[in-house]
Amino acid sequence: MAQPRPASAQWWRSAVIYQVYVRSFADGDGDGTGDLAGVRARLPYLAELGVDALWFTPWYVSPLKDGGYDVADYRAIDPAFGTLAEAEKLIAEARELGIRTIVDIVPNHVSDQHSWFRAARAAGPGSPERELFHFRPGRGPDGALPPNDWPSQFVGSTEPVWTRLPDGEWYLHLFTPEQPDLNWAHPVVRQEHEDILRFWFERGVAGVRIDSAALLAKDPDLTDLADGPEPHPFVDRDELHDVYRSWRAVADDYDGVFVGEVWLPDAERFARYLRPDELHTAFNFSFLSCPWDAERLRESIDTTLAEHAPVGAPATWVLCNHDVTRTATRYGRADTGFDFAAKAFGTPTDLALGARRARAAALLSLALPGAVYLYQGEELGLPEADIPLDRIQDPMHARSGGTDPGRDGCRVPLPWTADAPHAGFGPGEEPWLPQPAGWAAYAADGQAADPDSMLALYRRAIALRPRFGQDPLTWLPAPDGVLAFTRAPGTVCVVNLADRPADLPVPGELLLASGPLDPRGRLPSDTAVWLRAPGL
C-alpha cells in the first residue's frame, strides 16, 4: 500500500482529487445503496490509486429527489449512508492514509423537507419564515401565473421554476420543486452557512465544494429575464463575491480550501471567483466540454492558464463528473464535446475508440499544471450505461418531458469483483440502479491484475505525475493534430489526436504510454505518451 504523503500547505494546487458519489461507490451493509462503510472498506484501494483527496457528493439527510442535492439537514449523514460518527471516522482514517476530505455544500437551495421550508410553508404569507426563501404572489387574474419568466436550471427542462402553494403564494426553485431556493439577501441565511462550514471544518474536512456557486444571489425585484440580459437576475451577480469573501475568512481559520461549481462562459467573470480573498479553485468546465480535437484542446488549455494567471489560482482539469456523460462514451461519439442540451437516447457510440481516447486524455490531464479531478469509475474506464426507462431516477429525465436520458447513466454502482454478485458492489440486495450486462468486465479486481488496464494506467500515471513538477507549461513544436509540451526540465507529454501515426516530436525514453507505439516507433492516433527527454 502507498505510504502516507507529507502534509503540504498548498496541497490543493496540484492535487489529484477523487469524486465519490457515495450512493454508487460501494455498499457495505448489503441494502443495495452505497454507504460510508463501503467507502471505509475501500480506502486502501484509493490510497493505492494515489489520490490526494476525496470529494464526497452530498452525504447529508436527504429525500434524494435530486441525488442528495436536496439537503434536509446539513449537519447529519443520511441514515442510508451511515452516521456522523462514521463520517468522522472515515475522515480520520483517510487522513491516516494521506488522503484529505472535501465535502459538498449546497447553498442555493434546500430540500422542501428542511425544517426551514416546512416552517415557511406552515407559517403562511407575510411571515418571517417565508423571508428565508423567495415567496411571491402570482401574476395575472387570481395570481394564477408564475411571478416571473425564469427558466429551469435543468437544461432542456420544460417545467416552471415556481410552484404555487394552496395558500396562493408561489415559491422559487431553480431546480426541482423539492429544492426551494434560499434568499441570500437574508442575514440568517448567510450566518447559517458560515456555521455549517465551521461545523465541517471542525470535523477535520480539508475543503468544501460549493454547489451551483454562481446562482445564489437573485435580483431583489426578481425581474423578468426578458427585461434585459445584464445584469443577469440570477447568474453571476456581483453581490456573490461578498458572500465568498466572508466564506474565505472562515476557511482561512482552518486552512480549508474551496472548489466552486462555476459554469460561466466568460473567462474573466469566471476568474473573479478565484481572486486571492475568494475561492481557491473552481471546476474547469471548458476543458470538460471541449471536443477531442487538438486545436480546440490546446486553445482550452491556453485560455484556462491565461485566465487563472492574473489571480494566482491553480487551474483544475476535469473530464467528467456525476452530471455529465462518461468520458469513454463521449469520446466514442461523432460529437465529442459535452452539452447538456445535446443529450439524447440512442446516440451511436464506438466504445473501443472512446476508451482509447479516454486513456490518452488521462495522460493529457494528469500532465497539466494544476489539480486534477477524477470521477469514481473513470479510473476503470466505465462507459455511460443505458438505464431502462422504468428505472431512471434522475429528475432531469422527467423534467425534460422524457427526452433527456438524465444523469443516471454515469451514476451506476461500481464493479469491484468480477465474479461476485452485482460485480462486488455489495453483499446483498440489487443495486439501486441496475448494472448493465458486461459490467463485471470492468471490475477493479480484474483490472488490478492486468498491467494494460485503465486502472493500471491511472495508478502509474498518478505515481509518475510528480515528475512534471510545479513549473508552467511550454508547448513544443509538433505536427498538426499533435499536442506536445514540457514542464519540468526533461519531462514531456505528447498526445496524437490526428487520424494517422505521428513521429515523436522529440527523442526520449518512454515513461508511460496510453497504448503501444507502432512497429516504426511512431505514436498511433488517439494515443499519448510521457517521455523522459534529457536536454529539454
Q: Least distance (Å) from ligand GLC to the CB of residue 27? A: 21
Q: Which position among 69, 439, 442, 485 is part of the footprint of ligand GLC (CB under 6 A)?
A: 69
29 vs 323, beta carbon nearer ligand GLC: 323
251: which 3 cell numbers? 476557511
SS3 209: strand
Q: Least distance (Å) from ligand GLC to the CB of residue 67? A: 6
261 is catalytic: yes
Chain position carrying cell 476525496: 54
Q: Pairing state of beta strands 491-496 and 527-532?
A: antiparallel
363: which 3 cell numbers? 495522460
- Exactly one of 66, 169, 211, 526 is catalytic; name it: 211
224 is catalytic: no
Return the CA Rg of the chain.
23
Interacting span for ligand GLC (CB under 6 A) from 11-19, 66-74, 245-253, 471-479: 66-74
Distance between CA atoms of residues 218 and 244, nearest Å = 15
Name which of residues 257 to 276 contact ligand GLC (CB under 6 A).
261
Q: Which position among 53, 106, 213, 385 is part of the footprint of ligand GLC (CB under 6 A)?
A: 106
Q: Is residue 66 near ligand GLC by the rule CB under 6 A?
A: yes
Q: Is residue 235 near ligand GLC by the rule CB under 6 A?
A: no
Q: Is residue 35 near ligand GLC by the rule CB under 6 A?
A: no
Whether the ω angle into residue 421 lies within 30 degrees of 0, i.e. cis, is: no
**Per-residue string for binding with ligand GLC, 191-220, x by CB under 6 A?**
--------------------xx--------
Q: Pairing state of beta strands 53-56 and 100-105?
A: parallel
280 vs 322, beta carbon nearer ligand GLC: 322
Interacting span for ligand GLC (CB under 6 A) from 63-71, 220-228, 231-239, 485-493: 63-71
Nearest to 95 by CA among 5, 2, 13, 211: 5
**Per-residue string for binding with ligand GLC, 321-350, x by CB under 6 A?**
-xx---------------------------
- DSSP 8-state class, residue 99: -
CA distances from 446 to 246, 417, 419, 423, 452 (A): 48, 7, 9, 11, 11
Residues 6+ positions from 386 with CB-CB distance below 8 Å: 405, 409, 436
66 vs 526, beta carbon nearer ligand GLC: 66
Q: Least distance (Å) from ligand GLC to the CB of residue 177? A: 13
Q: Pairing state of beta strands 53-56 and 16-20?
A: parallel
CB atoms within 10 A of CB 202: 9
Q: Which position among 55, 133, 175, 273 is part of the footprint of ligand GLC (CB under 6 A)?
A: 175
Interacting span for ligand GLC (CB under 6 A) from 62-70, 86-94, 251-259, 375-383: 62-70
Question: Using CB atoms, what's the residue nearest to ligand GLC?
Answer: 69
Query: CB burial class (10 A; 0-12, 13-18, 19+) of residue 331?
Result: buried
Distance between CA atoms of residues 492 and 62, nearest Å = 46
* Residues that bind ligand GLC in the complex, under the rule CB under 6 A: 66-67, 69, 106, 175, 211-212, 261, 322-323
Active site residues: 211, 261
